[in-house]
Amino acid sequence: MAQQDDVIVYGNWKRPTSPGILGLGLIGTGILFAHLLLSVAFAMMNLIYAILWFIIGGLTIYVIVRKDKHNMSILYRFLIKFNYSRMKSAKRGIYRSGPLSHINEGHFRLPGIAANTTLMSYYDPQGREIGVLCHGNTHISLVMASEPEGSALVDQDQINSQVGRYGNFLNSLNNEPGLSSVSITVETEPENGLKLVEEIQGHLATHAPAFALETAEEIGNTYSAGSSATKVYTAFTYSFRDLNAKDQGISEVLLEIISRMPPMCSALEASGAGVPAPMSSAQIYKTIRTAFDPASRDLFDSANTNHAAPVVDWKNVGPTIAVNEWNKYVHDSGVSVSYIMSQAPRGVVTDSVLSRLMQPHPQLQRKRITFVYKPVSYEQSATMVEADVTNAAFTANSQKRASARQTIAVQKAAQAASEEARGASLIKFGMLATITLDSSDDITKADAVLNNLSANAHIVLRKATGTQDSAFVAGLPLGLSLDTFYSPFDSIKEML
């Protein structure tokens, strides 16, 4: 955070890199030197073999070093298309559930990376029912829901204070024992008006004049037209291993986690995120079910208006059918397109940089923006920032004249190391965006709108081509620990 001409700006985030030359990582640099040594060896034996080897090796280096604006090499893009083609050939891109499927007992389970997720209810000492998500036997998540107040009619000093408190909230994540990751999902969708009708009906007096009753009814039927609802879901995911869950029961673990929630929720409330409250099992069920089947939202809201509690059956929360296509995900009554942040803002930004991206948009029926934060331990933080300083200096010194970006990268790495030494936390973060539409015909227009909003936010979004199903589920407020789904190639890719 810095102050320029009485305007507070924020920045100094960077993508993890590997040391190397000519835009290559550590492994890529090793391949380059090995290629040059073998070229010399072949030249000493046979010049024709040396020329052929030099051409083959040169093409190999080219497909590794040639990258697009999303930092994806030709090789990586080819592997994505190859894996998608294999999936389509094996007909693994279509998910069917229910009595006519191959799923055990004919349930409608969650697909893909969320298939191992279960939902249980827990009652805290105050008697509140809290929904708890278990991801196999490795992680457990609690989800908080809130409705943000917005920044309208809020003084700039108050906004600066809220941003600072949000920074304090992120900085405190490293001090939370057993915390694996935190995801914050901002969801906007059209308001159907049933909540307003319920609120009005709950305050009507039976002896009120007929004119007053008619006016109240008209307000409930017309005032919500064209409005949108904005909700924030915060999922705290804990690791069973770090919590020593084997030495104590699940009830003791949950009691310990819930006892630590009030300070975290207070910090979120102070940042302007509204008043976070633990979600019940029914609320979590509704949120996930309506994400896969947007048309069912009116049924849930009508049941809530009539004070009829829906049956919570987590085994049937998934879609009836879902198709993973190259650039979209078709599921029940919706069609979704998911994006991944490939580049954060390069320079400094102000507090309002994400405002247009987060706000409801008339051409984006349903929009979900998810930020994923993974705290880094203090031991790893010191090692990482020092490695960043070394890598940035190596890259800058590997050329006769360092470029302006390389010079700035060295300065940023040194600043990060200095701030970490003073006690600042290091956090890995990412962002996913999902838009859900009623028809595939609106995808082109919605895609252009979202790209315009992301450009205004100085963020580069990459469409999750070939992996739309996983990106869609990853953006839901399930608290999935995404690093557990990484393949070995993902770590190698950064070093090529």
Q: Name beta bridge partners: 185.
A: 233, 370
pLDDT band of residue 369 (cuts 50, 70, 90) is: very high
Instruction: For the chain, give the percent of residues with pLDDT over 90.
Output: 28
pLDDT tens column, 454-485: 988 889 999 999 999 999 999 999 999 888 87
**C-alpha span between 115 and 322 (Å, rounded):** 13
DSSP letter, residue 121: E
**C-alpha span between 235 and 45 (Å, rounded):** 62
What are the structural domain ranges in the chain? 94-191+226-376+425-490
**C-alpha span between 164 and 374 (Å, rounded):** 19
pLDDT band of residue 402 (cuts 50, 70, 90) is: confident
pLDDT at 324 over 90: yes
Q: For the domain bounded by 94-191+226-376+425-490, which CATH number is listed? A: 3.40.462
pLDDT at 306 over 70: no
Distance of CA 102 to the CA centre of its chain: 31
CB atoms within 10 A of CB 90: 8
The type of residue at 165 is: R
* Mean predicted confidence (pLDDT) in 361-381: 89
Whether the Cβ atoms of residue 389 and residue 414 lie closer than 8 Å to each other: yes
* Mean predicted confidence (pLDDT) in 273-293: 92
pLDDT at 362 over 90: no
pLDDT band of residue 177 (cuts 50, 70, 90) is: confident
DSSP letter, residue 311: P
- The per-residue pLDDT for 23 is 66
Whether the Cβ atoms of residue 140 and residue 132 lie closer than 8 Å to each other: yes
* Token code pair at residue 150: 């917005």
pLDDT band of residue 246 (cuts 50, 70, 90) is: low
Question: Which segments of 29-137 are extended strands (E)?
Answer: 94-96, 117-123, 129-135
**C-alpha span between 260 and 332 (Å, rounded):** 38
* Mean predicted confidence (pLDDT) in 258-286: 90
pLDDT band of residue 233 (cuts 50, 70, 90) is: very high
pLDDT band of residue 305 (cuts 50, 70, 90) is: low
Q: How far is CA 117 from CA 140, 234, 318, 322, 493, in A?
A: 9, 17, 11, 18, 29
339: part of which helix (H) or strand (E)?
Answer: strand 334-343
Whether the Cβ atoms of residue 81 and residue 466 lie closer than 8 Å to each other: yes
